A and B are shown apart, each in its own frame.
Chain A
Amino acid sequence: MRSRPLSETDYDIVRQVPFLSALGGARLDNLMAKCRVECHSRGEHLFRAGDVARNFYVLLSGHLRLVKVSPQGEETVMHFLTQPGAFAEAVSLAGRAYPVECEVMEDCEIIAIPRDTYLSVLRSAPDVMAEVLAGLLRWERFFLEEIFKIRHTKPIQRIASFLIDFEERSGENLGGEDETNFPEKRQIASRIGITPETFSRSLRKLEATGAIAAGSKLRILDRAVLVELSR
């Protein structure tokens, strides 16, 4: 792992995180002065499930995946992190252990913010607490949507919805043809909670509509059709 000081661009990303920007200029500068940008390579782990969450993170670039591993060793992908922003703040600020593994999917740059340092700054700015709670509620909304989708939508809707969301979050849609680099199919199946067999059947149905090409590399061909199928 390499590290470097924060650049002004990094600061811009940090200022997009509400519970950090709410600290105000001087406090935020003081906090960031204690942090560096860490560069991690594909395959590395930022943390393991069960590790005490001494840090929370701001993702600057790259892709991460959050994975639950069962006692039998089976992996379930819980989330792909592909956009700049904070993560693991809930478990860290609550002083808990990380509930998932965090693995680097594409080389990434992150800022690790020590929990204790943040809390000592926060103690001097109690009015920021509302922003911290709002951050937790954003994660609650993520899980509400997640549970709703698993319970109440069909596999084909979940696949269509995932592909649209992932493309939007990746921000790599180039011109008329989609160039988004989607995760491996088995990882998508795990992420949206359907068996590989159902996933393959649903992909064939989606391909038959002309919405996607499901060859070795997934591609969105007709976004409007895909949006319709996601509803």
Chain B
Amino acid sequence: MNDVERISGVLRFANYFRTWPQEDILELASLCQWVRFDTDTMMISADEPASALYLIVNGHVELSFKDQDGKDGVIDLLGNGQLVGECALVPDGCYAVSVRTLEATTAVRIDGAGFADFLAAHFDRALTMMSAMTERLCQMLRQAEELKCRSAAQRLGIYFLADAVPIDGVHETPLTIEKSALARKLGMTSETISRALKKLSEVGVSQHANGHIIRIADAEMLADWCGLSGNEAKEGGEDAFKAAI
């Protein structure tokens, strides 16, 4: 199997491209190459000319934003299947955020100019790309709303609910990232995370295996405590929970 075939195998499972016909996936794959970054490496830097998009295949990266006064801060943490660098689709575009790896990360690099030409020649694919970008905007809208409306403990509770799996009558969530990275993802300090965990212990959330496993005694009660409506808790699903926080 050559690189184009292997990359097309990855692309067809990404949310952005899963509805595309095989010939379009293969054409897109021909614009791509594998890239591997070590831990703590800057993948893209804000304000630099945007030449490529990156689809994260394996690993976690941190997005940070710099305001007009030059202050910067983390705004999100992304993992497998996420796309960064859409600014590369626009002529003379510059990256809006910096992206740094939190661990060794494998990604597919998509040439920006080539992809833009491809979209100009494939109107329906451009519409699906537009739809995927709009979904990201809607997630950011939900994130902004949640940041405004929910307490730190509620947001941490929702984060745990997103990955919770039922085990022996309770729910458990494996914590796959360091607490410091989790704190940055949720826009909190480590101290706030500790206070939030203490607060959550009052509603049946406990830590096990040195904090690598979070046990939820009653997921429904926790969802209610976090302010999720019945429909949100039942129909939200993992993606909606993650978008919320």
Binding site for B on A (CB under 8 A): 68, 70-72, 74, 76, 78, 90-91, 93-96, 99-100, 119, 122-123, 126-127, 129-130, 132-134, 136-137, 139-141, 143-152, 190, 192-193, 231
Query: Cβ of A129 and Cβ of B119 under 8 Å apart?
Result: yes
Residues of B within 8 A of A136 (CB): 130, 133-134, 137
Shortest Cβ distance from A212 into chain B, in angstroms?
20
B12-36 with Cβ < 8 A to chain A: none
Query: Cβ of B148 and Cβ of A123 under 8 Å apart?
Result: no
**A-contact 0/1 string along B117-138, CB 8 Å cutoff:** 0011101001101110111111
9 closest A-B pairs by beta carbon, nearest first, are: A193-B148, A151-B187, A143-B140, A94-B134, A71-B229, A152-B73, A94-B131, A150-B147, A90-B134
Q: Indicate if B2 sits at the interface (CB-CB under 8 A).
A: no
Q: How far is the CA of A123 from the CA of B121 in the complex (A)?
A: 10
A-B pairs with CB below 8 Å: how many? 134
Query: Cβ of B144 and Cβ of A94 under 8 Å apart?
Result: no
B76-102 with Cβ < 8 A to chain A: 76, 86-87, 89-91, 93, 96-97
Query: Cβ of A99 and Cβ of B138 under 8 Å apart?
Result: yes
**A-contact 0/1 string along B183-213, CB 8 Å cutoff:** 0000100000000000000000000000000
Query: Cβ of B133 and Cβ of A71 under 8 Å apart?
Result: no
Query: Cβ of B134 and Cβ of A144 under 8 Å apart?
Result: no
Shortest Cβ distance from A53 into chain B, in angstroms?
10
Q: How far is the CA of A130 from the CA of B229 in the complex (A)?
A: 39
Which chain B residue shows the least CB distance to A119?
B127
